[in-house]
Structure 1
Amino acid sequence: MKKVKLILSILGGLLVLFLITTLLNTFTLKTLQPVSNTHQSSINKDNAIQNLSKAITFKTISYQDRSKFDFTEFDRFISFLKESYPLVHDELELEMVNKYALVFKWKGTDSSKLPIGLTSHYDVVPILEGTENKWEHGPFTGQVVAGKIWGRGTLDDKVGVIGILEAAENLLKEDYKPERDLYFMFGFDEEIGGDEGASEIVRELDSRGVKFEYVLDEGGAIVENMVPGVSRPVGVVGISEKGSATAELSIEGSGGHSSQPKNETNIGRIARAIARLEETQFPADLKGAGEKLFDFVAPEMSFGMKYVFANKMIFEPVIEKILLQQPASAALIRTTIAPTIFQAGEQYNALPEKATAIINLRLLPGDSLDDVKNFIVKTIDDQDIKVTVTGNEASGVSSVKSWHFKSIQQSAKNVYPDAVIAPYLMFAGSDARHYDSIAKNTYRFLPVQLTSEDLSRMHGTNEHISIVNYLKAIEFYMEIMKESNQK
């Protein structure tokens, strides 16, 4: 009986120690948010609205088939920029790279400092055939209705191009002079990979020995109701982007008449392989850029969630289980598998001699193409299925401790004082990855506040931006230009 009491006493003491330690971790968790410094805006609102509205009317569409590009629209857009931003064109150096990529250089007063790069793109995705009539306002009309600007590119990403130029034009009117050089770099084929736009800009600048302190591109945004346990808007700044790869699974064998099928057909074996991959999934691991997000938002969470994340070394399995419940949060902590194409057969009564499946994979930083292939081969466990994996691995992970990140965070906080500004892992691709080789750090942030519905409109029907959001984007770019020059 004494032994039982002793054991219970020890267990009770350990439980008390556990509670004291975990509660102490929770209550001593300090915010990582800077204090907001709001400033009075000097933006000519009517002019700014008119310029974005006009910019939308140019059909600068990127097609996978590059022969479909209508470069007269790109020429017209470039002419429009010259007319709309006279001070930028008078005071800054403009270079055209590969004819249509634009590089503006704003020379600073201190040539010993490395420059800052702000980049966006002015190409847009096509309108899906058959959806034209579903738009409330024409996709290339740039109409201003009910406090919103409508059209393709209002969110992705003419708002970035016009926002940067509006910010620069306003600062020039104020006779602002930066200390370090500022580069504004605008690609024209980001939507199909940026190989002739951003990639060529990097090649040209690299040949001249130009290196950047950091480059800021589009990417994350101010999002609502998307981070568990946080009721306030969260501004997510991409510090890395996942790799994008294509896995092809194929099998060949005898076909034959469908009246005499084998127990295992080519279609059946490929289908089974996909089912095994979906059932198994890549292992989840809260690490790297995904973990950094929760380091920054944990202090701002409700008590229950804060308790869990303040003690993540203990509760990591619980956290991972929570995150795996939603596709968006699951993608933060694992390489994802998305079967997108299945090809087999030509006739209803003939067994196909070949079956092929295409799987899109988004790779976590640290997962190599070889790792992915080995995982697939081991999981499907079918020696007759040929597996090939091509694509690119994740970008490098940029620092959250550098003054680069802190400048972005401070600028965002100045414009969105109620938001929590945090790093995150970007799922989609951007031009930022091209700049990794010539910048100490690359970041991804579109300074607008978005709902889940807004995100679905980016490449979809009825893309639009509120005037308030657009004007805040301009304010952010003014802030970041000034903030980065204080370092």
Structure 2
Amino acid sequence: MIRSNHLQNNFLPGPQQIRFQGIRKIYFFFAKELPRCPRTAGAGKVNDYALIYKWKGIDSGKKPIGLTSHYDVVPVLSGTEGNWEQQPFSGAVVEGKIWGRGTLDDKISVIGMLEAAEQLLKQGFKPERDMYFMFGFDEEIGGNEGALAIADLMQERGITFEFVLDEGGAIVEEMVPGVDKPVGVVGISEKGSATAELTIEGSGGHSSQPKNRTNIGRIASAIAKLEETQFKGDLKGPGEDLFEFVAPEMNLGMKYVFANKFIFEPIIEKILLGQPASAALIRTTIAPTIFQAGEQYNALPEKASALINLRLMPGDSLDDVKSFIKKTIEDDEINVTVSGNEASSVSSIDSWQFKAIQQAARNVYSEAVIAPYLMFAGSDARHYDKVSENTYRFLPVQITSEDLNRMHGTNERVSVDNYVNAIKFYIEVMKEGAK
């Protein structure tokens, strides 16, 4: 098994640093520390930095499976380096933990997948179907040059997958109220991400003689109406699937409520809407993020605008969002534009593909409840919808809510045990998925 500090030392901070400091370091690292995989599967490049390995199976007539992850990371915010207990890119292993940016997101998957393949090759394992390992380099900024380009190449070659597995949900302790066991959530879809811009223009003037309704006031009023109204919550789709899977593990009272959901659904939805995390499971969310207006304290701005980030539920279109905003703000003089991506397709939970991932997780984390869910953030998986029957999102680590806050934050780290278990999980996925 490779030394755990290779999670950090042989991967560079992000796409721009990779471009200028040399992607060859990654290739050389794979060739040196994981020689069997490159030798068996070869390596292809897309847009210079994305990697594809193909492990040929016994029966190439069967649809292949795809395992994907990314080796770019978000930067460490300038000025926060001193807040880290270990150097952000040191890869230090201290007291059973591996420290550094990207240890959770998502170098653990890159190394975990290749280390798992290395171990299986050492054992003489031969998959029944082809397996592809696909590594992007720009997931944190959308994945258009990495994952999307790989998916386009697969489409050009007529290659479609039984399923593609990417990062996403994890095994989280105390995730679901009323469930004592850790819950492992496998993303079967991810919410869309859209940006709405609200803009109004008109005469400014001196602040000593303001109109009753200024440009700033009108945009502020529109934002206030949107936050007060919100999209309607509806327990359906992946959110409903999650609770149906975990309901048998709930305490008696909660088990009764979910067993009679058709009676208690309004109460359940009200409870879920009471917390941001659970509310995001059942509705499209509204988050004003940028407000721009004015340059001088005594001059009324001639233009005011606001940007709103929305995370769309499956089934909500960009047109639906625009219509909702215009109807809610009730101000025809405010121009509304909406751009972005709608939610990904929803993958099957009744298929052998989902059950293979579920079983692989159970084989490593026997105490966890493995359930489907709706992923709030974006991932490279959505790019593979066009070439895969199903796309799933799961990071095989057991973590706390505090650990989740360290992703993209200070003191990102992963335990050595989690690292080893990730390798075990990918071994099981390859065995289960390649049957």
Normalised TM-score (structure 1):
0.88
Please state how far the C-alpha of 1:69 moved relative to its aligned partner: 5.8
Aligned to 2:123: 174
Query: Which of the residues 38, 49, 52 maps onto 2:4?
Result: 49
Aligned to 2:14: 61
Deviation track 1:159-180 (CA, whole Å, cap 9, x = no partner) reads 0000001101111111111110
1:417 aligned counterpart, secondary structure: coil
1:359 aligned counterpart, secondary structure: strand
Q: Does 1:140 align with 2:140?
A: no
Q: Does 1:473 align with 2:413?
A: no
2:193 aligned counterpart, secondary structure: strand
Aligned to 1:35: none
Q: Does 1:289 align with 2:238?
A: yes
Identical positions, percent: 70
Aligned to 2:262: 313
Q: Which amino acid aligns with 1:288?
A: G
Deviation track 1:230-288 (CA, whole Å, cap 9, x = no partner) reads 11100000000000000000101111111111111100110000000000000000011
- Number of equivalenced pairs: 435
Correspondence list, 1:30-45, <5 A:
44=1
Alpha-carbon distance in 1 for matches of 2:298, 2:18 = 42
- Is residue 432–residue 442 contact of structure 1 (8 Å, CA) maintained in 2? yes
CA RMSD of aligned residues (A): 1.1
Q: Which runs of 4+ in 1 moved over 4 A?
A: none
Alpha-carbon distance in 2 for matches of 1:76, 1:264 = 59
Query: Which of the residues 409, 412, 427 maps onto 2:376?
Result: 427
Q: Which amino acid aligns with 1:250?
A: T
Deviation track 1:136-157 (CA, whole Å, cap 9, x = no partner) reads 1011100000100000110000
Aligned to 1:359: 308
Alpha-carbon distance in 1 for matches of 2:249, 2:161 = 33
- Is residue 221–residue 450 contact of structure 1 (8 Å, CA) maintained in 2? yes
Q: Which amino acid aligns with 1:113?
A: K
Alpha-carbon distance in 1 for matches of 2:30, 2:241 = 38
- Is residue 250–residue 354 contact of structure 1 (8 Å, CA) maintained in 2? yes
1:361 aligned counterpart, secondary structure: strand
Please state how far the C-alpha of 1:93 moved relative to its aligned partner: 2.3
Alpha-carbon distance in 2 for matches of 1:472, 1:368 = 39
Q: Which amino acid aligns with 2:12?
A: K
Alpha-carbon distance in 2 for matches of 1:406, 1:336 = 30
- Is residue 51–residue 84 contact of structure 1 (8 Å, CA) maintained in 2? no
- Is residue 13–residue 75 contact of structure 2 (8 Å, CA) maintained in 1? no
2:423 aligned counterpart, secondary structure: helix
Correspondence list, 1:178-217, <5 A:
178-217=127-166
- Is residue 240–residue 443 contact of structure 1 (8 Å, CA) maintained in 2? yes
Alpha-carbon distance in 1 for matches of 2:362, 2:71 = 26
Alpha-carbon distance in 2 for matches of 1:121, 1:470 = 16
- Structure 1 residues not aligned, in runs of 5+: 1-43
Alpha-carbon distance in 1 for matches of 2:7, 2:359 = 26
Please state how far the C-alpha of 1:80 moved relative to its aligned partner: 1.5
Please state how far the C-alpha of 1:53 moved relative to its aligned partner: 4.4
Query: Which of the residues 222, 228, 232 maps onto 2:181?
Result: 232
- Is residue 199–residue 306 contact of structure 2 (8 Å, CA) maintained in 1? yes
Alpha-carbon distance in 2 for matches of 1:311, 1:282 = 25
Correspondence list, 1:44-443, <5 A:
44=1, 47-55=2-10, 58-62=11-15, 70-443=19-392
- Is residue 6–residue 91 contact of structure 2 (8 Å, CA) maintained in 1? no
2:134 aligned counterpart, secondary structure: strand
Please state how far the C-alpha of 1:89 moved relative to its aligned partner: 1.3
Please state how far the C-alpha of 1:50 moved relative to its aligned partner: 4.0
- Structure 2 residues not aligned, in runs of 5+: none
Please state how far the C-alpha of 1:48 moved relative to its aligned partner: 4.1
Aligned to 1:3: none
Q: Which amino acid aligns with 1:49?
A: S
Please state how far the C-alpha of 1:340 moved relative to its aligned partner: 0.2
